[in-house]
């Protein structure tokens, strides 16, 4: 039992470190990708290919002046970014990172918590994310921050609906809410994307809105709202907000890969005859590759599409995505019923 707890603690810390590292380097990759999309080179001064740029950025953020506005609510002001960061890190618990390890005949799942309501857990945690932004924006006592926060909350609530509706069709197909179970049913190449392309499209669009990424980055919309909800933030508190965005990107990439692209599964997974432990490690890297691809798509879209207007955003969410998701759900239901 102690070994089991120790294993879980180790795994949880490893995943924490990995997600922080990934988020750190996503900032560099984002700037590199942005540079390449704009025929530039991106940062390349700190170390080879700018390898130490995230470190330099981090150190800079730590040593910047910590400025808290006089009229801000001190407690909530600090709570905002902390909550955002906490929530961003919490979601990774329910994601299966690879198949089970087998050591001395004992099975160790490569997942922090295989909760039987995995998807629900992730959605529940993600929806708390809006509080971090709302609290931060409100506590700043600045009209731009407040506007950004209001925009963020209404946007996230609207898109969460369509997102969950899109997922329901997946849940109907699998008959389970457990992430592990969903991945296991996509063994080999039986990925959900082949059966649910529309659900994936809706989920992808909603993921952009949920992570406040362009073209749905209205909450921080620098052209209208200065910096949106983090206008008044400086130093590492700002860093937390920015960092959380990248962790969210990482996690939503992981969720997309898990739900639609078979998670750690890859074609001919059973036929290459790897030992369970080797399989778990390979699966992990396969999953990371998929996540990296989604991370790239996030950046790709950001540097391609212009920002939506707020009414367009709301119209897309309520009048297009939600009806589509419901339609998808109904069609899935009918097909399942007919195949019985």
Partner 1 sequence: MKMKRISDKSVVVSNKKMSFLEKIYLPAVIGGMITTFGHLFRKKATIRYPEKTRPVSAIYRGRQVLKRDDEGRERCTACGLCAIACPAEAITMVGAERKPGEEMLYREEKYASVYEINMLRCIFCGFCEEACPKEAIFLTGQLVFSDYARGTFIYGKEDLLEPSDPDKRIDVSKRETQEVISFKTKSELKHNKK
Smallest distance, Å, CB 42 to partner 1?
Answer: 9
Question: How many whole angstroms separate alpha carbon 261 and alpha carbon 293?
Answer: 11
Residue 233 or 298: the one with the smaller Cβ distance to partner 1 is 298
**Residue 52 binds partner 1 (CB under 8 A):** no
Q: Up-side HSE of residue 302: CA atoms within 13 Å toward CB?
A: 23
**Whether 244 contacts 250, CB under 8 Å:** no
Residues touching partner 1: how many (CB under 8 A)?
13
**Residue 65 binds partner 1 (CB under 8 A):** no
Question: Two tokens at 194?
Answer: 């082949």
Residue 89 or 324: the one with the smaller Cβ distance to partner 1 is 324
Smallest distance, Å, CB 301 to partner 1?
Answer: 7
Question: How many whole angstroms separate alpha carbon 95 and alpha carbon 102?
Answer: 19
Q: For residue 277, count CB atoms less than 10 angstroms from its CB and return exposed for 0-12, middle for 13-18, buried for 19 or more.
A: middle
Taking contact as CB under 8 A, which single stretch among the options 29-37, 78-86, 100-108, 151-159 is the one that binds partner 1?
Answer: 29-37
- Distances in whole angstroms, Cα of residue 231 to Cα of each of 1, 141, 147, 153, 236: 48, 10, 11, 16, 13
**Residue 311 binds partner 1 (CB under 8 A):** no
Residue 209 or 238: the one with the smaller Cβ distance to partner 1 is 209
**Whether 265 contacts 231, CB under 8 Å:** no
Taking contact as CB under 8 A, which single stretch among the options 20-28, 33-41, 62-70, 325-333 is the one that binds partner 1?
Answer: 33-41
Among 41, 59, 189, 278, binds partner 1 (CB under 8 A): 41
Smallest distance, Å, CB 257 to partner 1?
Answer: 19
Question: How many whole angstroms separate alpha carbon 166 and alpha carbon 201?
Answer: 9
**Residue 270 binds partner 1 (CB under 8 A):** no
Residue 35 or 69: the one with the smaller Cβ distance to partner 1 is 35
Taking contact as CB under 8 A, which single stretch among the options 40-48, 168-176, 186-194, 332-340 is the one that binds partner 1?
Answer: 40-48
Smallest distance, Å, CB 300 to partner 1?
Answer: 6
Question: Two tokens at 77?
Answer: 């002001």
- Distances in whole angstroms, Cα of residue 109 to Cα of each of 90, 124, 276: 18, 23, 11
Query: Which residues contact partner 1 (rule: CB under 8 A)?
Result: 35-41, 44, 300-301, 303-305
């Amino acid at each position: 039992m102690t070994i089991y707890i120790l294993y879980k603690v180790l795994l949880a810390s490893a995943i924490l470190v990995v997600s922080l590292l990934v988020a750190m380097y996503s900032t560099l990759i984002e700037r590199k990708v942005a540079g390449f999309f704009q025929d530039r080179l991106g940062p390349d001064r700190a170390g080879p290919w700018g390898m130490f740029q995230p470190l330099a950025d981090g150190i800079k953020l730590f040593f910047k002046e910590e400025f808290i506005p006089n009229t801000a609510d001190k407690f909530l002001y600090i709570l905002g970014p902390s909550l955002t960061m906490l929530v961003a890190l919490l979601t990774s618990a329910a994601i299966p990172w690879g198949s089970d390890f087998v050591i001395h005949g004992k099975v160790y799942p490569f997942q922090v918590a295989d909760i039987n309501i995995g998807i629900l857990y992730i959605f529940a945690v993600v929806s708390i994310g809006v509080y971090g932004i709302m609290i931060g924006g409100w506590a700043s006592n600045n009209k731009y921050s407040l506007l950004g926060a209001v925009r963020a909350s209404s946007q996230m609530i609207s898109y969460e609906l369509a997102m969950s509706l899109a997922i329901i069709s997946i849940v109907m197909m699998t008959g389970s809410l457990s992430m592990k179970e969903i991945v296991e049913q996509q063994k080999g190449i039986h990925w959900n994307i082949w059966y649910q392309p529309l659900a994936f499209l809706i989920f992808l669009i909603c993921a952009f809105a949920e992570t406040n990424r362009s073209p749905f980055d209205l909450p921080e919309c620098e052209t209208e709202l200065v910096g949106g909800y983090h206008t008044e933030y400086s130093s590492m508190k700002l860093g937390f907000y920015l960092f959380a965005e990248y962790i969210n990107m990482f996690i939503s990439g992981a969720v997309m890969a898990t739900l639609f692209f078979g998670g750690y599964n890859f074609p001919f997974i059973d036929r290459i005859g790897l030992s369970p432990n080797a399989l778990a490690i390979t699966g992990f890297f396969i999953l990371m590759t998929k996540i990296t691809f989604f991370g790239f798509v996030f950046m790709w879209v950001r540097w391609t599409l212009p920002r939506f207007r707020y009414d367009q955003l709301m119209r897309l969410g309520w009048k297009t995505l939600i009806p589509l998701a419901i339609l998808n759900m109904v069609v899935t239901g009918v097909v399942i019923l007919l195949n019985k």
